[in-house]
């Protein structure tokens, strides 16, 4: 009975990770329509992470080789994007991390548990833990702070909260940061399950 509850909990957390990554991928795909480049890479990463997290039990041996090819292509795309600046380096790290996890899953018989290199896995865990903490901090401070209390009618005018900042094509910066934070948390969860 205890094993059944543990299996159900593991399956539920896997499906929640699938949902998180798929929603992030869909949002990035929607953004990619007007932005291209980085948003398209994030969409591929989100959907690939969702597919990789699907709990298929004993089946699904086709996934790792196919995902390996997809993530190698994403790594090449991220390497190409590096021409535009070092801020695309995270896409390269993410793509290479997915290639690594796919290879670890193949060598671990499809599960990936304990199949990775401990030092590399530990370094990636530190990277993504830092990315998630930094991303969460940026997201919390993006709103411009608390809204001031209204002043008395005879006092100075009440300042209004600033609207969300908009990147070049109109998507609120906070949504982009939330999407990236969700995918960083998904990557961290996948690394922890190795």
pLDDT, position 166: 44
pLDDT, position 165: 47
pLDDT, position 168: 47
pLDDT, position 121: 94
pTM, whole model, 2 decimals?
A: 0.74
pLDDT, position 76: 92
Give how far the C-alpha of residue 186 lies from the chain's centroid of Cα atoms, to the nearest Å.
Answer: 5
pLDDT, position 31: 77
Tens digit of each residue's pLDDT, the chain (194 residues):
455 666 666 788 889 989 999 998 888 888 777 655 667 778 888 888 888 888 876 556 777 888 889 899 989 988 988 888 887 798 899 999 999 998 888 777 655 555 788 999 999 999 999 999 999 998 888 665 554 555 555 655 555 555 544 444 445 677 778 888 888 999 998 898 87
């Amino acid at each position: 009975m205890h094993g059944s509850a543990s299996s159900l909990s593991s399956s539920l957390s896997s499906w929640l990770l699938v949902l998180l990554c798929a929603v992030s991928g869909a949002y990035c795909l929607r953004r990619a329509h007007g932005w291209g480049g980085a948003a398209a890479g994030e969409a591929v990463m989100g959907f690939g992470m969702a597919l990789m997290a699907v709990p298929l039990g004993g089946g699904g041996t086709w996934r790792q080789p196919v995902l390996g090819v997809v993530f190698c292509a994403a790594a090449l795309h991220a390497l190409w994007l590096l021409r535009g600046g070092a801020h695309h380096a995270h896409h390269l790290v993410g793509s290479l991390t997915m290639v690594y996890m796919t290879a670890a899953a193949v060598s671990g018989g499809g599960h990936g548990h304990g199949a990775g290199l401990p030092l590399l896995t530990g370094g990636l865990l530190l990277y993504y833990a830092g990315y998630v903490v930094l991303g969460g901090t940026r997201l919390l401070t993006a709103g411009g702070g608390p809204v001031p209390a209204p002043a008395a009618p005879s006092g100075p005018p009440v300042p209004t909260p600033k609207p969300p900042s908009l990147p070049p094509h109109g998507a609120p910066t906070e949504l982009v940061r939330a999407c990236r934070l969700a995918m960083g948390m998904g990557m961290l969860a996948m690394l922890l399950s190795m």
